[in-house]
Amino acid sequence: MIPDRMLLVEARVAAMRDLPWPIPALVVIEMSDEDLDRPEAAADDNNYWRTLNEIVRRITESEAWKGER
């Protein structure tokens, strides 16, 4: 694996590991690369909670996710 890519993967894993509340695994699985990067990018910002909430809400409200339940 390319070193920069490995750092990116490690950052994404850390962002999911450090989530402030439990999120269903199906939601995490449905997250795009951008979704995985957004919480980390907003971690030091007042927008963290809003960003994370938007991601989870968009995925859970999508028809594809509802069909998987």
Domain span including residue 20:
3-68
Residue 51 has pLDDT above 60, yes or no: yes
Give the mean model confidence (pLDDT) for residues 44-59. Answer: 84
Percentages of the chain per state (helix, strand, coil), in multiples of 5: 70, 0, 30
Q: 11: burial class by Cβ within 10 Å (0-12, 13-18, 19+)?
A: middle
Greater pLDDT, 41 or 20: 20
pTM: 0.70
What's the total number of domains in the chain? 1
